[in-house]
Amino acid sequence: MTDVQDSLVRASFTVMALLSQAAAAHDLSLTQLRALAILRDREPKMAELADHLGLDRSSVSGLIDRAARRGLVRRDSSSDDGRAVRVSLTEDGHRLAAVMTDEIGSLIAPMTSRLSTADQNRLGTLLTRLLD
Amino acid sequence: MTDVQDSLVRASFTVMALLSQAAAAHDLSLTQLRALAILRDREPKMAELADHLGLDRSSVSGLIDRAARRGLVRRDSSSDDGRAVRVSLTEDGHRLAAVMTDEIGSLIAPMTSRLSTADQNRLGTLLTRLLD
DNA sequence: CTCATTTGAGTGGTATTACCAATCAAGTTA
DNA sequence: TAACTTGATTGGTAATACCACTCAAATGAG
C-alpha cells in the first residue's frame, strides 16, 4: 500500500462520511443517493440500474419500491418488452437530486477550499485521469 | 458542485467499490474493515471505537460481537473502570488486517498506476492537504 | 406452430447494519 | 448513603443486500 493509495482511501472515507451525512439529512441511504444520481441522466430498466449500482436485481427491487413509495421514482413498463420496467425520476425526485447535489457541494467545500484554485484544478485533473 | 468536488466524489465511489470487493472476498463488511483498520494501532474502549467509526454504541456492540465470534477481536474489561471494555485485535485479526492492506493495495494499484510516479506523489500531497 | 428455454422482474427468507429506547452495573457526587 | 451519571448491552424496528425461487413474457428449436 503506497502513500497515494493510503491518502486516496482516507479521502474516500472522509467523502463518504459527508455523503452519508447529506443523504441522512433527507432520509436517504447512500444507495438511494447513488440511485438518484444515476437516474438523473438515465431511464434504465431494472437490470441496467442493478448493473450500474453493482447490486443484485432483487436488492434493487426493494430499493425502488421504497423510493417509489416516497414518490421519488416511477416505474413504467417498457413498450418493446412486456417484462421490462423502466425506472425514472419523478418531478420530486429531480428536485431532491438537485438539492442533494447542492448540499453535497457545500459539505465538501470546506475540504476542497483548503487548496488554492490552481491546486484544486490540479487535483481535479489528476483524479479525472484515475477514473477514465 | 465544482469540478474537483465531482471528481472527488466519483473517485471515492470507485475506491469504496474496490474496498467493498476486497472486504467481501474475506466475508467482511466495509464497517468491519474499518474497525479492523482502526484497531490495528489502537485498543480503544467501546465508546471510543464508536466515536472513531461515527456509529452508535449499540451498533458497535453487535459489530464487535460478530467479529469476536469469528475470532478477530477480543474484549478485555478495563482495569481502571469496571464498566469499560477494551477492544483489541487477536493474532488472527492482525493477520487478516495485514492481508487486507495488501490486497487493497493491489486492487487500487491499477488506478494509481495510470499516473506517473511524480504525479502519484503530487496527488498524494494534494489529498493529504485536504485531510489534515 | 408448439413446447422448451431463456430472460426480466419480483417474492420470501436470512444475516447484517444501524438506529433509538430502555436496562443494568459500576462509578461519581451531593 | 442516596441520587445521578456513565459504559456497555439488549430488544425492537427498518433498511440493505444476498440467494433461491417463482412467474410472466419473449425467444428458439424442432
User: Residues B88-101: pLDDT tens digits?
Assistant: 999 999 999 999 99
Say if CB A119 and CB B2 are below 8 A apart. no
Strand partners, B86: B45, B76
The reply to whether residue A5 touches residue B112, judged by beta carbons under 8 angstroms, is yes
Q: Where are the beta strands (DSSP E) in A1-132?
A: 73-77, 85-89
Which chain B residues are closer than 8 Å to A3 by Cβ?
120-121, 124
Tell me whether residues B102 and A1 touch, CB distance under 8 A: yes
pLDDT value of residue B79 = 87
Q: Which three cell numbers stand for residue A126?
A: 489528476
Residue A92 banded pLDDT, cuts 50, 70, 90: very high
A77 touches strand C (CB under 7 A): no
A vs B, Cβ pairs < 8 A, gives: 139
Segment B23-43, tens digit of pLDDT = 999 999 999 999 999 999 999
Nucleotide nearest to B44 (CA to C1'): D7
- CB B23 within 8 Å of CB B29: yes
* pLDDT tier, B132 (very low <50, low <70, confident <90, very high otherwise): confident
Q: Which residues of A touch B9 (CB under 8 A)?
A: 15, 19, 104, 108
The average pLDDT across A62-75 equals 97
Mean pLDDT, rounded, for A31-41: 96
